[in-house]
Amino acid sequence: MVLKRRTLLITGIITLCAVIVALGFLHLLPLNIFSIQQKPEQAPQKVYDYYLIIDEQSDQTIMYVPLVVSIGDEVISDENKYYEIVRIEENRAYARFIKLIELDKYQQESGSP
């Protein structure tokens, strides 16, 4: 009887320790299941002295820029049109029109401080 009780007690203690250890590692589970995924790297592009930003629909040149252009870059033209770069071919970056920005909303009245 005493041996059976001791065996049961030791088995219970081992089970309790195993449960505590398992719960201790449970917080690491989401890192293994939902691992952080890196954004795929873009193929390296040749660097040019300047880039032409071209409207995707009308093929009109919006501007020249002396900076390296990447897909996802945002551009505001001199006509207050907001574009996003969607494609790059050599030194030509094609931009998609997003919206017209109305600066009247942001200008202060002449009498306001």
Residue 76 CA to residue 100 CA, distance in Å, equals 9
Indicate the pTM of the whole model: 0.55
pLDDT of residue 36: 67
Domain boundaries, the chain: 2-33, 51-102
**Contact (CB, 8 A) for 83 and 55:** yes
Per-residue pLDDT tens digits for 18-29:
888 877 776 666
